[in-house]
């Protein structure tokens, strides 16, 4: 075919013309505000690069003995998997360079990592959520949130620089290591999803401005814990299963990023309630619940702890846990109503 064939052959059915391929770098630059300095764009670019490195290692985990425990225990008292440590090290290295980030909060580290001569951004992340599933080859993910230091904040960093409510986030997202590797993020102008093409090493735009479907398809709760839930949560799940309630399928795979992503695409609600023995639930507010709630609201959904909007909760502690109900706005609102009703009766 000549270089500029006047009559090129039609592309294969379903193929996106090469000219239509949009990389995450191109998309970030195209969508950044005119007054932007490009620092946040560069930061998100490097999170994408971290995702490529983690994906590569996660995909080969079974071959390179990356499965299994590191022998360490993380601040949560959880056994650290080798991939947890690798993912945390890669995210830290990518975020610490370029003078953009002044502090990093990680699920895997007891205290924030302070970056000397860093910039104005604070990043919170769970480097590999769902890692307990790695050995069974279930999708896992990196969850991240980005804050910008308040304008009047200067000098030494302090708790108020990272103990922030999710409504202060300037960006949030996740990288899902599944049948394909996807990066999903928002900077407050909608939710955008990119799929990694491993052959060219680029995240290519798959969906932009994602919204929860009007009709939800799934609910994701660990039914085995239902005897331990608050009354209102149990009533909500029973309501979901009533014959006169629109039918939802129950899907729960024990990896919040994967459950959230499926529900974002097909509609639904994910819940990890408080339970006897876990009075604040299991998921962490700062670097799991708040970023997912931020994305949910950007896609027309809602995140709640059962009573309050998750994005309004002011953290007291880095690793504070919270009950999480996130996804379809009508379902999360209905859950809040049933929790409220049960608490007054
Ligand atoms: P359970 C993974 O360890 C995680 O933090 C979330 O990704 C997931 O939704 C939850 O825990 C699963 O917890 O108690 O149902 O195994």
pTM: 0.92
Alpha carbons 176 and 143: distance in angstroms, whole number:
9
Alpha carbons 331 and 323: distance in angstroms, whole number:
16
Using the atom order of ligand 1, give the atom closest to the CA of residue 258.
Answer: 7
Alpha carbons 330 and 336: distance in angstroms, whole number:
10
| Mutation test residue for ligand 1: of 272, 285, 288, 323, the one with most atoms within 8 Å of CB | 272
Among 155, 177, 208, the domain-final residue is: 208
Using the atom order of ligand 1, give the atom closest to the CA of residue 129.
Answer: 7
Which residue lies with its CA nearest to atom 3 of ligand 1? 130
Q: Is residue 9 part of a domain?
A: no
State whether 149 and 50 are in the same domain. Answer: yes
Residues within 6 Å of ligand 1 by CB: 129-130, 132, 222, 254-256, 272, 282-283
Q: Is residue 180 part of a domain?
A: yes
Host H or E run for residue 42: helix 39-59
| Mutation test residue for ligand 1: of 256, 258, 273, 326, the one with most atoms within 8 Å of CB | 256
| CATH code of residue 95 | 3.30.540.10
Which residue lies with its CA nearest to atom 16 of ligand 1? 254
State whether 229 and 325 are in the same domain. Answer: yes
- Residue 234 in 3-state DSSP? helix
State whether 196 and 57 are in the same domain. Answer: yes
Q: What is the dihedral of CA 14, 20, 21, 23, to 10 degrees?
A: -150
Q: Is residue 184 part of a domain?
A: yes
State whether 232 and 333 are in the same domain. Answer: yes
The pLDDT mean for the chain works out to: 91
| Residues 285-309 pLDDT 10s | 999 999 999 999 999 999 999 999 9
Given a cut of 60, is residue 116 above it in pLDDT?
yes
Using the atom order of ligand 1, give the atom closest to the CA of residue 222.
Answer: 15
State whether 58 and 27 are in the same domain. Answer: yes
Q: How far is the CA of 253 from the centre of ligand 1 (A)?
A: 8
- Average pLDDT (221-231) is 95
Alpha carbons 53 and 176: distance in angstroms, whole number:
13
Alpha carbons 241 and 260: distance in angstroms, whole number:
20
| Mutation test residue for ligand 1: of 127, 255, 260, 275, the one with most atoms within 8 Å of CB | 255
| CATH code of residue 303 | 3.40.190.80
281 contacts: CB under 8 Å, gap ≥ 6? 272, 273, 274, 275, 305, 321, 322, 323, 324
State whether 313 and 194 are in the same domain. Answer: no
Residue 287 in contact with residue 125, Cβ under 8 Å? yes
Q: What does the pLDDT read at residue 1?
A: 46
Q: Is residue 13 part of a domain?
A: no
State whether 194 and 333 are in the same domain. Answer: no
| Mutation test residue for ligand 1: of 77, 219, 282, the one with most atoms within 8 Å of CB | 282
Using the atom order of ligand 1, give the atom closest to the CA of residue 224.
Answer: 15
The residue written with tokens 């390179």 in the block is 64
Nearest 5°: the CA angle 270, 160, 314 is 35
State whether 98 and 192 are in the same domain. Answer: yes
Which residue lies with its CA nearest to atom 4 of ligand 1? 130
For the chain, what is the domain count? Answer: 2
Which residue lies with its CA nearest to atom 12 of ligand 1? 254
Alpha carbons 53 and 238: distance in angstroms, whole number:
43
Cβ atoms < 10 Å from Cβ of 10: 8
Phi, psi at 247, each rounded to 5°: -70, 125
Given a cut of 60, is residue 15 above it in pLDDT?
no
Alpha carbons 122 and 172: distance in angstroms, whole number:
12
Q: Is residue 311 part of a domain?
A: yes
State whether 339 and 264 are in the same domain. Answer: yes
Among 156, 176, 208, the domain-final residue is: 208
Alpha carbons 329 and 304: distance in angstroms, whole number:
10
Q: What does the pLDDT read at residue 16?
A: 58
Q: Is residue 6 part of a domain?
A: no
Domain containing residue 270: 218-344
Given a cut of 80, is residue 7 above it in pLDDT?
no
Q: Where are the alpha helices (DSSP H) in 60-199?
A: 82-96
Partners of 105 in beta bridges: 124
State whether 31 and 179 are in the same domain. Answer: yes
Q: Is residue 5 part of a domain?
A: no
Using the atom order of ligand 1, give the atom closest to the CA of residue 270.
Answer: 9
Among 185, 208, 231, the domain-final residue is: 208
State whether 62 and 80 are in the same domain. Answer: yes
Q: Is residue 93 part of a domain?
A: yes
Q: What does the pLDDT read at residue 135?
A: 82
| Residues 168-222 pLDDT 10s | 999 999 999 999 999 999 999 999 999 999 999 999 999 999 999 999 999 999 9
DSSP 250: E
Least confident of 8-17, 241-250, 287-296, 309-318: 8-17
State whether 178 and 321 are in the same domain. Answer: no
Q: How far is the CA of 255 from the centre of ligand 1 (A)?
A: 6
């Amino acid at each position: 075919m000549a270089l500029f064939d006047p009559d090129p052959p039609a592309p294969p059915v379903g193929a996106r013309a090469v000219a239509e391929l949009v990389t995450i770098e191109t998309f970030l630059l195209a969508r950044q505000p005119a007054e932007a300095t490009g620092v946040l764009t560069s930061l998100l670019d490097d999170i994408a690069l971290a995702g490529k490195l983690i994906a590569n290692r996660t995909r080969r985990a079974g071959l390179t003995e990356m499965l299994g425990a590191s022998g360490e225990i993380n601040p949560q008292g959880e056994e650290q998997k080798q991939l947890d440590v690798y993912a945390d090290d890669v995210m830290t290295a990518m975020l610490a360079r370029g003078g953009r980030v002044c502090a990093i909060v990680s699920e895997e580290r007891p205290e924030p990592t302070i970056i000397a001569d860093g910039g104005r951004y604070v990043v919170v992340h769970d480097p590999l959520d769902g890692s307990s599933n790695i050995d069974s080859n279930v999708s896992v993910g990196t969850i991240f949130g980005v804050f910008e230091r308040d304008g009047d904040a200067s000098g030494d960093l302090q708790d108020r620089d990272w103990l922030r409510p999710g409504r202060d986030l300037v960006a949030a997202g996740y990288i899902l290591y599944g049948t394909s590797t996807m990066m999903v993020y928002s900077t407050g102008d909608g939710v955008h999803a990119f799929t990694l093409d491993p052959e060219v090493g680029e995240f290519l735009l798959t969906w932009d401005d994602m919204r929860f479907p009007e009709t939800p398809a799934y609910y994701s709760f660990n039914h085995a814990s239902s005897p331990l839930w608050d009354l209102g949560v149990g009533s909500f799940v029973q309501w979901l299963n009533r014959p006169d309630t629109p039918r939802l399928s129950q899907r729960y795979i024990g990896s919040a990023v994967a459950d959230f992503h499926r529900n974002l695409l097909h509609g639904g609600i994910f819940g990890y309630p408080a339970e006897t023995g876990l009075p604040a639930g299991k998921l962490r507010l700062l670097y799991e619940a708040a970023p997912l709630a931020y994305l949910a609201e950007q896609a027309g959904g809602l995140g709640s702890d059962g009573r309050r909007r998750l994005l309004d909760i002011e953290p007291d502690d880095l690793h504070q846990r919270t009950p999480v109900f996130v996804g379809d706005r009508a379902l999360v609102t209905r859950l809040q109503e049933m929790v409220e009703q049960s608490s007054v009766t």
